[in-house]
Amino acid sequence: MKRSSQTKIALLALAGAVLLCGWQAVGSAESEATDLDLKDAPEVRVVVADTDRWVDYARHIIGLAPKEQQDQAEVLAGFLDVFLIGVDRNRPALADTFSQVTPMRYLLHVPVPPREFRTFNRDNLQPIGISVDSVIGENGMYRLGARPPAAFTGWMLYEPNKRGNFAFIAEAKEEVPAELGDSTPSAEKLLGEDFDAALELINKTNAVEARSKRFIPDRDQMVADMKPNKGETKTAFALRKLTLMQSWENSMAMYAEAAKIYLGVNLDTLQNIGTADLTMTVLPETQLMKVIKLLGNNSRYASVPTTEDPILSGRIHLPLDERFQKQLLDLSDAVETNSLAIVEDDESRSAAQKKAGSAATKALFGFIKKTVEAGTLDGFIEIETASNGKFVAVGAMHTPYGNEGLAVIQSFKGTKTVTTIDESVETYKDIPIHRVDLNPEGIEDLTEMFGTTDVYIGTASDAIWYAGGQDALAKLKSTIDAAASGNMVTSPETVLRAKGHGLPVTEMFLDRVYPTLDPITRAMLRGGLSSGDDRAEIEFLSTAEGLDGSAKLQSGSLGFIGRYLARFSKENLDE
C-alpha cells in the first residue's frame, strides 16, 4: 500500500476507530459553501464508551463473515491497534465537529495517560507523518505537522494530570482553547447506561436558512461526481441521482431545523444484536415542525393485526407538507420516466405490448401522483407464511380516488405484465374486488414465493386493497373486517414501522429496485442475511416536539457488515 494511502487511512483510523467518525477534513475538497457564524452552527458531539470495545467489535463482526474472510479480523484489529498506541483504550473518547467552516473540521478528545504521552507522540503520531513540537511559553500547547512533509497540520493541547488527561487535537489553534476541561462527565452523560456510542446535535439559534444553505454546494458537487454503474441506463442513473439528492436534502433539513438530535447505538455480541435509539426535537416555526404538528392521528388501518413473525410487516401514516409532496412528485416523475424507458427498451415486447405498457405506466403514475397531491400517505402491508409454506400478502393504501382504481387496472389489458383481468369477481362491504392474473415471465421468483400469479385488488372509494398468495381472497376479506373493527393495535403516534426477514424481502425487491448494484455487494448482502437470523425492525413515533425512533438488527445483517469490513480490510490494509 502506498504511503499516501496508508497515511490517509491512518488518520481515518485515528479519528474513526477512536471516535466513530471519519476525519473528513483530511483530503476533503474545497467547496464554495458560505461559512456559518459559529453561534449558528450546530454543536455536534460523538462519543464512544472505550476504543478497546470497538476494536473487539470489529473482530467479532468480521468473525460473522465466511471462514475464508475471517483472517481479516486480525488484519483490521492489528491496523487499528497501531493507531491506538499510547491511548487509554478503556476510557471514553470524543469528537466535536466544526461544521461552520469548509471543509468541516473536528476536535478530537483522545484519552492519553501521562506515562504514555511520549509514546503517543513518538510511536503513534510521528510514524504517520505528524511531527510534534511544543510551543515555547504556552504550557501544554503543541504544534502538529510543522515540519514538512506533513500528513496533517494542527494543534494539540495536553497537560499531564489536567483536563482529565485528554489530548485535544484540532486544525485551528482557537479550537483547542486552554479553557477545555475533563470530557469524562460529558461522555458519561451522553452514553448513559445503555449505549456503546452516541451522537448529539444541538441547535441554539433559529438560523435555519443559513444552515440549510451551508451544504448546498457540497450536495451539488456530490451529485455531479456520481458515475453510472455498469449497465445502468440514463433514466436509471437520473433516478439514482435524484434519490441521493433527496436523501441529502432530508438529512440537511434535520441538521438545520432540529433543536436536538440524540442517537445511541449498542452491540450485544452474545446475542449478535445491534440496536439504535433516536430522539429528535424540532425548532418551532420551522417546516419540520409543521410536519410534526400534522402527526399523532390514528391511521385508517390502526386495527389491522400485525403478524408475530412476519416476512414483512409495514405501516406508514405520514401527512405530507409541501416539501415532502414535491419530493414524492419529483420521485414519481423520475420512476415513471425510467419505467417508460424499460418498457420501450424491452425487446421481448411486441409493438402493441409496448404501446399498452406505456399507456398503463402513465395511468398508474397519474393515479399515484393524484394520491400524493391529496396530502397523506396512509397504508400497510402484511406478508406472512401460509399453511402451504408459501407467502401470502395483504395490504392497502388510502386514496380519495379509489373509485378510479378500476380504470387503472383496465389500462393494463394488452400489456406484457398482465395475462387476464376479471372485473368485479365479488363485492365485499361495498368494495368491488377484481382478480388480476400476472404474466409469470420475469416474476418466476415471486411465483415460487407466493405459489400463484393471481392478485386480488379491491377498489374502495377511499382505498386500494390488494392480496396475493394462498387463500388471498379470504385473507383480503378478513383484513377489511379487521380494519373496520375499531380494535386498535397500532398507536396513533406510529409514523413508520417495518419489521421482517431481510433475506426474502431482499429477494423480492433488490433486483427490481436496484438492478445495477455492485455484484460483489449484492452477493455479500445475500450471503450475510442467509448466514444467520435475518430479522430486522425499525420504528418512528411522533411526539409533541419531534420524533422518537428505534432499530434492531440481528446476526444476518451483522454478517453483511462483517463481509463489508472484511472486503475493505482486504482491499486497503492487507499487504
Sign of CA pseudo-dihedral 482, 483, 484, 490 = positive
**In what helix (H) or strand (E) does residue 509 lie, and over which residues does it extend?**
helix 502-513
**Residue type at position 125:** L
β-pair partners for 540: 496, 549
How does pLDDT run across 323-366, given as a tens digit for each residue? Answer: 999 999 999 999 999 999 999 999 999 999 999 999 999 999 99
Using DSSP's 3-state secondary structure scheme, residue 280 falls into strand
Alpha carbon 232 to its chain's center: 22
Checking 343-350 for CB contacts under 8 A at 24+ apart, the result is 345/233, 346/416, 348/416, 348/441, 349/416
CA proximity to 109, closest of 5, 10, 21: 21
Q: Is 53 exposed, middle or buried (0-12, 13-18, 19+ CB in 10 A)?
A: middle
The dihedral of CA 113, 114, 115, 118: what is its sign? positive
Per-residue confidence (pLDDT) for residue 116, from 0 to 100: 97
* CA within 13 Å, CB half, 444: 2
d(CA 79, CA 68): 19
**First CA to last CA distance, the chain:** 7
Q: Which segments in the chain show pLDDT lower than 70?
A: 1-34
Q: C-alpha cell of 104?
A: 468541516
Q: Which of 285, 244, 368, 372 is nearest to 320 (CA)?
A: 372
Cell numbers for 242: 435524484
Give the tens place of pLDDT for each residue, 421-457: 999 999 999 999 999 999 998 889 899 999 999 999 9
pLDDT at 312: 98
User: CA angle at residue 326 from 247 to 321, to 5 degrees?
Assistant: 95
According to DSSP, residue 399 is labeled: -
3-state secondary structure of 80: helix
Q: Specify the pLDDT at position 518.
A: 84
In the numeric block, the cell 485551528 is attached to 172
Q: Quick one: CA torsion of 152, 157, 163, 164, rounded to 10 degrees?
A: 40
Ramachandran sector of residue 81 (left: φ over 0; alpha: ψ -120 to 50; beta: rest)? alpha
Say which residue the cell 447505538 belongs to.
265
In this predicted structure, what is the pLDDT of residue 310? Answer: 97
Q: Which of 177, 166, 44, 17 is nearest to 101 (CA)?
A: 44
Query: What angle is formed at CA 296 by the lines to CA 295 and CA 302, rounded to 5 degrees?
Result: 115
Contact yes or no for 469/386 (Cβ under 8 A): yes
Cell readout for 568 is: 475493505
Distances (CA, A) of 422 to 436, 443, 564: 6, 20, 47
Longest dimension (CA), the chain: 90
Query: What pLDDT does 516 receive?
Result: 81
User: What are the CA-CA distances from residue 364 to residues 92, 372, 405, 415 (Å)?
Assistant: 54, 13, 9, 13
Q: Looking at 41-120, list the stretches that DSSP marks H as alpha helix, in order from N- to C-terminal side.
A: 51-62, 72-82, 117-119
